[in-house]
Amino acid sequence: MANIIEMPKLSDTMTVGTLVKWLKQEGDAVKSGDMLAEVETDKATMELESFFDGTLLKIFADSGAQVAIGSPLCAIGKPGEKIDVPAPAAKPPEKAEAPAAKPAEGGQKTEDRGQKTGDGEQKKSQPAPPMPPSTTAVPAAVPKAGQVSEPTHPKPAPAAASSDRVKISPLARKLAVEKGIDPARVTGSGPGGRIVRADILAAEKSGGARVGSAVPGAKKPAGPSAFAKGPIQEERTVPVSNMRGAIARRLVESKTQLPHFYVEVEIDAGPLLALREQLNANLEAEGVKLSVNDFVLKASATALRQVPTVNASWETAASGQGQIRHFAAAHVAFAVAMEDGLITPVIRDAHEKSLFEISSEAKALGKLARDRKLKPDQFTGGTFCVSNLGMMGIPRFTAIINPPNAAILAVGTTVQKPVVKDGAIGIGQTMVLTLSCDHRVVDGAVGARYLGALKQLLEAPALLLV
């Protein structure tokens, strides 16, 4: 009997996966270890691996379909072998004719060929492990991926794209943003006119569908074009990705269920900046380029060893009573911004690694995160998190705790300003660090001690090289 491959759970918060595209087709010979398809989760786009040798006998889910965990994707076996046909997987989201609408109070379930998807699936309770931190408001409702309610205002688009929504795969949508392509001006070659990756690449080559490019026969809009900085912004409704939907749910959980409190300290960043400049200048030939964030990550891990109460999480025991888990190792996560959200790669055993090892690992993990190639064990299991907006010029902010962590550190930019040192006023470089704490685990005095340890390490950064 043929082997059935089901949608795996590829991240701790995943409930459904979007089948981006098949890398193998029905009738193809496959071996164990071959990559069968690309699957988009709420954290990354990953390749689905075959664990069987044989022939790809049947595909149960079309490209673009949202498939619940445990639902069948394909069957592998010998030609002519019997297949126990399982319940069909979900249809591609854009095939549903009803436009995305505000869900009714209490949540609305959407049934699609017998499988729970969309809002109905997302209303289920989720496990506790990590979600990306954020400092911005998040939507409460998550429309189904693939559906776009287009604006009521007319837009320059060919007749082929004049429908009330754009049918486009998640991968093509992401590529369109990167390439500056307007999907409404691209004709899809996929099933039902769906825009796929090849269509975006073809549009990029032709150059006619770029955002803000002229449309043949279209009149030039009136107004002072000298002040135009880009295409006119139009009111529109867009679907959220699996990642953005997961962020929305988890941040609401964190902010409503975890009693946040905040402590803040301003440090003298001058010694850190001076040491960083000196090390980079002398080690440039060896490919070393340290960032301020590298120092913060190393100092955060070291401070966790000095104030271990912060390196903990709140849990609910089998009896239903709360308990606190203290971690032996400092697994420090850091926030990486992506096109449609955030993800937190983890540097494991950061307390045992040198500043240079942390720098190298952080760069590698950051690239994998932006390419959506992180594996589950690379973004789960963190015990503390660092969110740094300093490179964006933000002087100070507060971050939402990344459950099940008990704290998250928000790092602002370095600011040059007058400071008092040794009784005299001079020009200094300062940096503000804000610690968000779960008050069930961390008390104010403990948070203050942790920031004190962190301040001492960053103001005497040579200690991080020992």
Cα 274 off chain centre by: 33
Q: Is the dihedral of CA 82, 86, 92, 97 positive or negative?
A: positive
Query: Whole-angstrom Cα distance, residue 277 to residue 452?
Result: 24
Nearest partner of 384 among 299, 273, 264, 291, judged by Cα: 299
Q: What is the DSSP string of 155-170?
A: ----GGG-SSS--B-H
CB within 8 Å of 457: residues ≥ 6 apart: 299, 302, 303, 463, 464
Closest CA to 388 of 353, 431, 354, 449: 431
Asked if 326 is an active-site residue, the reply is no
CA distance 413 to 107: 41
Strand-pairing partners, residue 59, are 74
Find residue 421's DSSP bridge partners: 424
Q: Residue with structure tokens 């249809």?
A: 91
**Spatial separation of the C-alpha atoms in residues 351 and 303, rounded to whole Å:** 9
DSSP one-letter code for 214: -
Name the pairing type of β-strands 3-6 and 332-334. unpaired
Q: Which amino acid is at 201?
A: L
**Is there a contact between 434 and 410 (Cβ–Cβ < 8 Å)?**
yes
229 by Cβ neighbours in 10 Å (0-12 / 13-18 / 19+) ranks as: exposed
Half-sphere exposure of 370 (CA within 13 A, CB side): 8
Which candidate in 153, 331, 351, 439 is catalytic?
439
The sign one gets for the Cα dihedral 270, 271, 275, 281 is positive
Q: Using alpha carbons only, how large is the chain's radius of gyration in Å?
A: 25
Q: In whole angstroms, give the CA distance from residue 375 to residue 384.
A: 19
DSSP-assigned letters across all residues of 400-422 = ---TT-SEEEEE---EEEEEEET
Phi/psi at 7 (5° precision): -65, 115
Q: Which residues are designated catalytic?
A: 439
